[in-house]
């Protein structure tokens, strides 16, 4: 017995981020708008009751009779439970493995294109794809709401990745693809898992990631000591997106995490300033997530392509993409 599925795991950018005071549980409440873009990883999943010799040397046996074998095209990424995709497979086994017969090997290959630790939910998207893939292959019949509830146990960005991938992967079950909550753009509140659909932005994007890794935990720990000079009005942002008023939307695209990251990591501040000064025609330049990625919004694909080539010459990871609608 063998089943396979291939899914696309898309990157996201933050059109806005606001952060409240730290709560008793140590987390910060957020209010932000996330948008899926066309940059994507490829996730291949194979489920079989036959174990290969290569897998025997590489997997850990789950007590319930499942095995997980994970590989990526990047040698420095973990291929065990330190990888969020592995944790997603383990979660699905623990929650739903008793419904699956026969048990067997979950073989995962991740072809990474999204930069690692770059503020674009690359790892969260990979985990979401694993959950979608196993739900489909095992014919569990889970709703998108059920998947989001489970995904929130692993990370606050995973529910958004689940609803956005549902809109963009045609191989998924119909109840997932046509779910009322499926959307490539959403407002996230609370711990980031309380989602409401937002009309997507239709634009071209230049994304530039310097050769720098920034810990999200470090940024959130440091933001409490910062004075926030400007905050987004996400009600106005969502309303502007709904009515297609891009000018009004741009004015509310603010990321308060810049207050910490741009001061602590001058490379990111310099990159944002340089992009703002040199990217002619850019409607907005903003940091995504906790950094270090900075993106610029354009009306034209040609403009985004032009500047992607320019920044690649400066040894940055740079590409152009479209927002997914």
Contact, 252 vs 233, CB < 8 A? yes
- Beta carbons of 314 and 275 less than 8 angstroms apart: no
Number of Cβ atoms within 10 Å of the Cβ of 55:
16
Decide: helix, strand or coil at residue 265: coil
How many alpha carbons lie under 13 Å from residue 165 in its C-beta half-sphere? Answer: 34
Q: What angle do CA 242, 247, 253 make, to 5 degrees?
A: 80
Radius of gyration over every alpha carbon of the chain, rounded to an integer in angstroms: 20
Residues 265, 213: Cα–Cα separation, whole Å: 10
Q: Which residues of 148-162 are buried (b: 16+ CB within 10 A; e: fewer)?
A: bebbbebbbbbbbbb
21, two tokens: 């005071």
Long-range contacts of 221-228, Cβ-Cβ distance < 8 Å, separation of 24 or more: 222/260, 222/264, 223/19, 223/28, 223/256, 223/257, 223/259, 223/260, 224/21, 224/22, 225/260, 226/259, 226/260, 226/263, 227/259, 228/256, 228/259
What is the spatial distance between Cα 134 and Cα 142, in angstroms, rounded to a whole number?
10
Annotation says 157 is catalytic: yes
Active site residue 49: no
Cα dihedral 208, 212, 213, 219 sign:
negative
Q: Of 12, 167, 272, 284, which residue is the catalytic one?
A: 12
Which residue among the candidates 18, 31, 41, 157 is catalytic per the annotation? 157
Active site residues: 12, 157
């Amino acid at each position: 017995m063998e089943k396979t599925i291939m899914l696309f795991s898309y990157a996201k950018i933050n059109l806005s981020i606001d952060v409240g005071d730290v709560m008793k549980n140590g987390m910060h409440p957020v209010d932000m708008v996330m948008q899926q873009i066309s940059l994507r990883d490829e996730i291949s999943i194979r489920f079989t009751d036959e174990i290969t010799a290569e897998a025997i040397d590489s997997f850990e046996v789950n007590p319930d009779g499942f095995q997980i074998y994970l590989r990526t095209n990047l040698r420095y990424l973990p291929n065990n439970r330190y990888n969020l995709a592995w944790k997603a497979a383990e979660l699905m086994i623990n929650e739903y493995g008793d419904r699956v017969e026969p048990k067997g090997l979950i073989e995962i290959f991740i072809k990474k294109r999204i930069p690692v630790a770059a503020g674009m939910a690359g790892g969260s998207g990979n985990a979401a794809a694993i959950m979608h893939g196993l739900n489909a292959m095992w014919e569990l019949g889970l709703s998108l709401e059920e998947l989001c509830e489970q995904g929130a146990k692993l990370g606050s960005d995973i529910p958004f990745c689940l609803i956005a991938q549902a809109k963009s992967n045609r191989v998924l079950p119909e109840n997932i693809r046509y779910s009322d909550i499926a959307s490539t753009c959403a407002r996230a509140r609370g711990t980031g898992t309380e989602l409401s659909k937002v009309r997507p932005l239709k634009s071209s994007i230049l994304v530039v990631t310097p050769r720098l890794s920034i810990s999200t935990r470090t940024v959130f720990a440091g933001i409490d000591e910062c004075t926030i000079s400007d905050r987004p009005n996400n009600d106005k942002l969502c309303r502007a997106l709904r009515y297609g008023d891009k000018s009004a939307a741009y004015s509310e695209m603010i990321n308060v995490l810049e207050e910490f990251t741009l001061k602590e990591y001058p490379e990111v501040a310099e990159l944002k300033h340089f992009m703002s000064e040199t990217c002619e025609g850019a409607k907005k330049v903003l940091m995504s997530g906790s950094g270090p990625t900075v993106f610029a919004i354009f009306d034209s694909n040609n403009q985004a392509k032009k500047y992607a080539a320019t920044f690649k010459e400066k040894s940055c990871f740079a590409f152009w993409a479209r927002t997914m609608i």
